[in-house]
Chains A and B, each alone.
Chain A
Amino acid sequence: MLHLVNKSPHDGCNLDTATSIMKDGDSLLLIEDGVYGAIKAGKAASLLEGRSVSVLGPDLAARGISEDKLVDGITIVDYAGFVDMVAASDNVQSWL
């Protein structure tokens, strides 16, 4: 299963809920304002530990977040990579 989070971890509980539902083998993709959740020094970083997490590169760049600011082990994907992630998962849950 692929989980999409598009909100900042400082705005609502979407990332908390998504990570509480995530199972082993599931993937998480942070898009739009969700990319703020991937910042190493941020409060949400601990939620991502031990999980398969990707961020959408164009959203990261738009917000001026450089790769070195991210939680270690995170994968950066483009829209094509996003499509591949959807195709590779049985279903997709958008935590709107």
Chain B
Amino acid sequence: MKFTIQVNEGPYQHEAADTAYHFTKAALDKGHEIFRIFFYHDGVNNGTRLTTPPQDDRNIVDRWSKLGQEHDIDMVLCVAAAQRRGIVDDGEAERNGKDATNIAPGFRISGLGQLIEGGIESDRVIVFGD
């Protein structure tokens, strides 16, 4: 079955990012396909590579990057939400004259249409948030 997963909250602040990760991993283990993970609202903060949690804590961003790359998952940060919260890739840095980027490996920035498309193309949409 094809799933699209929406993550509405940032890492560490709320358990949503953890639940979404464990759910995604379990779905993949069961042979389901993850069509897309769409990060919205503060959820875009799951995609900053500048995160530095203490050594004895989970690294939520690295964990997503690793899972995304291992399973070739399309992990999309909403562009409007990312701009508001300062998550930047090369294209956004150039367009908006920013002097740095911070997007983590395996993520890309794109429009809200990607969420709607996920809903249309997938068998199920599951939203994790506050």
Interface residues in chain A, defined as those with a beta carbon under 8 Å from any beta carbon in chain B = 4, 6, 31-33, 56, 58-59, 78-80, 82-84, 86-87, 89, 91-92, 94, 96
Residue of A nearest to B25 (CB): A79
Which of these binds chain A: B45-53, B74-82, B119-127? Answer: B119-127
How many chain B residues touch A (CB < 8 A): the figure is 21
Query: Residues 41-79 of chain B: 1 if any A CB is under 8 Å from the residue's CB, otherwise 0?
Result: 000000000000000000000000000000000000000
The listed residue (A33, A83, A89) touching B23 by CB distance below 8 A is A83
The reply to whether A32 and B19 contact each other, CB–CB distance below 8 Å, is: yes
Query: Residues 1-41 of chain B: 1 if any A CB is under 8 Å from the residue's CB, otherwise 0?
Result: 10100001000000110010011011101101000000000
Interface residues in chain B, defined as those with a beta carbon under 8 Å from any beta carbon in chain A = 1, 3, 8, 15-16, 19, 22-23, 25-27, 29-30, 32, 124-130
Q: How far is the CB of A29 from chain B (nearest CB, A)?
A: 11
Cα–Cα, bound, A58→B19 (Å) = 10
The reply to whether B26 and A96 contact each other, CB–CB distance below 8 Å, is: no
Contacts A86-B124, A87-B32, A87-B124 given; does A96 touch B8 at CB 8 Å: yes
The reply to whether A96 and B127 contact each other, CB–CB distance below 8 Å, is: yes
The listed residue (A31, A59, A83) touching B26 by CB distance below 8 A is A83
